[in-house]
Amino acid sequence: MDATLPGATPPARKKNKLHPKEFLLWAFMVSVFMIFAGLTSAVIVRRADGNWLEYVLPSAFWWSTAFVLFSSISLQWSVGKARRDELGQLKMGLATTLLLGTLFLLSQWLAFKQMVGVGLYLVGNPSSSFLYVITGLHGLHMLSAVVVLFVIFAQVFQYKVHSKNMLAIRLGTLYWHFLGVLWIYLYVFFQLVF
């Protein structure tokens, strides 16, 4: 019988075996990707039909991009600290990531305010409608990721995240990086299409 730390993830029987929660996360991320692929394809098709208003993207989107990039760096740094059981540094890294994630969400809100300020609304021209829907949907996913990271942050204080129990932070990091890459894709897409 193996002696493990309380809350520790039992060692996998096979190195290449996917944890069931990881499989579910991958399936979820594929479905999310398909939603955004469908939405961006719809933008391309609708833009070709005409009556498409072109405008400069809100400057807050640039800040959103910077926040998501730096948050991915700080979260990856945190994972390294968890692997070395440096819990103080792990807490600091997760707190930084949570702050940057919150700033990302605030910058998205500011982008919406900037759009309203220049007369671009959810209802109106399809170009602004698509922008609100796509960024709003991504923002909801980022909000869910912030909640997930907050739960992981709380688990660190309960000594449930450490070198012997990396599943939660590994899955949270995978989801965070996925949303970060998705935002970069969307930002580049917006720059090219809007």
Whether residue 94 contacts residue 149, with contact meaning beta carbons closer than 8 Å, is answered with: yes
**Assigned token pair, 170:** 């590994």
pLDDT in tens, 33-43: 999 999 999 99
Residue 14 has pLDDT above 60, yes or no: no
Distance CA 86, CA 103 (A): 26
Kindly tell me if the per-residue pLDDT of 54 is higher than 50: yes
| Range scoring the smallest mean pLDDT among 2-6, 60-64, 114-118 | 2-6
Q: For residues 64 and 103, what is the distance between their CA atoms, to the nearest angstrom?
A: 8
Residue 1 has pLDDT above 60, yes or no: no
The string of pLDDT tens digits covering residues 127-165 is: 999 999 999 999 999 999 999 999 999 999 999 999 999
What is the pLDDT, as a whole number, of residue 121? 93
Rounded to two decimals, what is the model's pTM?
A: 0.89
Which architecture characterizes domain 56-193 according to CATH? Answer: Up-down Bundle (1.20)
Q: Is the pLDDT of residue 5 over 90?
A: no
Per the model's pLDDT, the better-predicted residue between 17 and 61 turns out to be: 61
58-108 pLDDT, tens per residue? 999 999 999 999 999 999 999 999 999 999 999 999 999 999 999 999 999
Fill in the amino acid letter for 42. Answer: A
Confirm if 20 and 94 have CB atoms less than 8 A apart. no
